[in-house]
Amino acid sequence: MKLKEIIQGLEIVGMTVDGNLEIQRITFNSGEVKKGDLFVAIRGYQCDGHQFIDHALSAGAAVIVCEEAPALVDKGVSMIQVPDSRRALARMASTFHGCPSKELQLIGITGTNGKTTIATLLHQIHTRLGFKSGLLSTIQVLIGEESRPATLTTPDPLRINAYIREMVDTGCEYCFMEVSSHAIDQERIEGLEFNGGVFTNLTRDHLDYHKDFKEYLTVKKRFFDQLPEDAFALVNGDDKHGKVMLQNCHAEAHTYSLRSLSDFRGKIKEMHMEGSSMEINGAEVWINLPGRFNASNLLCVYGVTVLLGQHPEDALSGITLLSPVPGRFEIFRSGKGPTGIVDYAHTPDALQNVLDTIHEVNVSGGEIITVVGAGGNRDRGKRPNMARIAAEASQKLILTSDNPRDEDPENILDEMMEGIPPSMIDRTMRIVSREEAIRTASIIAGNHDIILVAGKGHEKTQEIKGEKIAFDDMEILKRNLSG
């Protein structure tokens, strides 16, 4: 593609450019640069891509896009200076791949909890209804039914647009995409044309990145402020921040709720470990996902499906066939022994929701044993809160490592212990080894007890001192409960 086509629409401060250059590839920051590439220098949070401009030039880059141009540039190299390299990269990525988001229905799901479940179930239901769809989620990327590895909740704009182009070229009519606060703030979704936006809820998370909760909320809201008039915005009416998302939003506004009047109204009638009986807009259905938070997620899926033009009866029948998402309240029953549950809950609110659900479906009256940790190099303020929630809702608690990353796991546990009420210290253990913690929970559990292993969910590795070690909560839980 010619350079002059790729840079159309960019806000350009200055340039020395040959618009007829043929560009085969776009790279950014310290990525591997090949001869003839267009290289974009991004100011990151750990390094500045402008430091790699000389490397990119020596590797044969034909075009440099940057915020601060070097003093001397070799002849034959085009230099484009822009006020925001991140925004420029996203717009160029879309143009380079032929603006693929215009060629299907793109739905973005944002919020603290529920994004992965809702996006995955939307892909499931539209597949069952006979549509080929794409999925961009924390767990996996799907082109129809063909899987790709997932790296981030929301990938970089080059990957996003490449994936959506592949979806379009293989006949996908829809793409369901998780939209993280990092992605919004870092302009990864700039240039994408969304047909709908979904807001699930907002609770404390990512305060290691955002300076405070207000900034976190403002970033999430920016996604809805940018939706076009012909799109829809569907927000959770049970979350007080839902109304905030709709302020100044030009898209068609809709709500879903389990507690109040809304466009999509749900009511839980019965809850069991295997699922729930609920009412959706007056019709009674059975869903295979247990818990109040999953009833809310399924109600949202129903709303999006109807807003995308599917008949309400088809949406209802499709919902009854949906299956749980890996690592999200994933249950293992060990015959006559304890029941194990693995869940991704890594925020205070998500942990509270999971434990509330376990209490609601714990018909046998067994004890609840919770194994939980907190991630290293992340929001430290939530650590005592999570420990307190787990202690108050469990008969036995084992604090352990999550992904300690570069931190000393003992220090993380010290901070979690600060949240344990004095009266609950005697039923709290701390075991740094996550595998040993799960094994201990399995040993002390009675036949009717429930073991919750929270925090990592679908993840298959544990990150310690920069190294990712193979680790699967469910695999270890099954091994110990089946022995």
* Rounded Cα–Cα distance for residues 159 and 314 (Å): 33
18-28 burial, b if ≥16 CB within 10 A, otherwise e?
A: eeebebebbbb
* Rounded Cα–Cα distance for residues 26 and 42 (Å): 13
CB half-sphere exposure, 157, CA atoms < 13 A: 31
22 within 8 A of 71, measured Cβ to Cβ: no
Question: Residue 32 carries which DSSP code?
Answer: P
User: Which amino acid appears at position 311 of this protein?
Assistant: H
CB half-sphere exposure, 375, CA atoms < 13 A: 20
* Rounded Cα–Cα distance for residues 415 and 91 (Å): 43
| Pairing label, strands 339-343, 330-333 | antiparallel
Secondary structure (3-state) at 255: strand
Phi, psi at 223, each rounded to 5°:
-60, -45
CB contact set of 201 (below 8 Å; sequence gap of 6+): 111, 112, 113, 114, 236, 238, 239, 241, 349
134 within 8 A of 143, measured Cβ to Cβ: yes
475 within 8 A of 460, measured Cβ to Cβ: no
CB contact set of 450 (below 8 Å; sequence gap of 6+): 338, 339, 340, 341, 358, 362, 366, 367, 368, 369
Please name each of the domains of the chain with its CATH number: 3-96 (3.40.1390.10), 100-319 (3.40.1190.10), 330-482 (3.90.190.20)
* Rounded Cα–Cα distance for residues 277 and 281 (Å): 13
Per-residue tokens: 402 = 């999550």
Secondary structure (3-state) at 22: strand
Per-residue tokens: 27 = 């790279």
Phi, psi at 62, each rounded to 5°:
-90, -25
Which pLDDT does position 214 carry in this prediction? 86
226 within 8 A of 203, measured Cβ to Cβ: no
pLDDT per residue of the chain (483 residues) written in tens, 0 to 9 = 999 999 998 999 887 777 889 999 999 987 789 999 999 999 987 789 999 998 999 999 999 999 988 766 666 788 999 999 999 999 999 999 999 999 999 999 999 889 999 999 999 999 999 999 999 998 899 999 999 877 777 789 999 999 999 999 999 999 999 999 889 999 999 999 999 999 999 985 545 554 677 888 999 999 999 999 999 999 999 999 999 999 999 999 999 999 999 999 999 999 999 899 999 999 999 999 999 999 999 999 999 999 999 999 999 999 999 998 889 999 999 887 899 999 999 999 899 999 999 999 998 899 999 999 999 998 899 999 999 999 999 999 999 999 999 999 999 999 999 999 999 999 999 999 999 999 999 999 999 999 999 999 999 999 999 899 999 999 999 999 986
CA of 331: how far to CAs of 205, 274, 447, 473, in Å?
Answer: 25, 9, 15, 12
Question: Residue 2 carries which DSSP code?
Answer: B
CA of 341: how far to CAs of 93, 355, 433, in Å?
Answer: 41, 11, 19
Look-up of token digits 């609601």:
360
Look-up of token digits 């608690």:
397
What spatial distance separates the first Cα and last Cα of the chain, rounded to whole Å?
59
* Rounded Cα–Cα distance for residues 396 and 440 (Å): 11
Which pLDDT does position 210 carry in this prediction? 46
Q: How far is CA 339 from the centre of its chain?
A: 27
Question: Residue 48 carries which DSSP code?
Answer: B
| Pairing label, strands 283-287, 330-333 | unpaired
Helix (H) or strand (E) holding 146: strand 146-149
Sign of the CA dihedral with 208 first, then 213, 215, and 220 last: positive
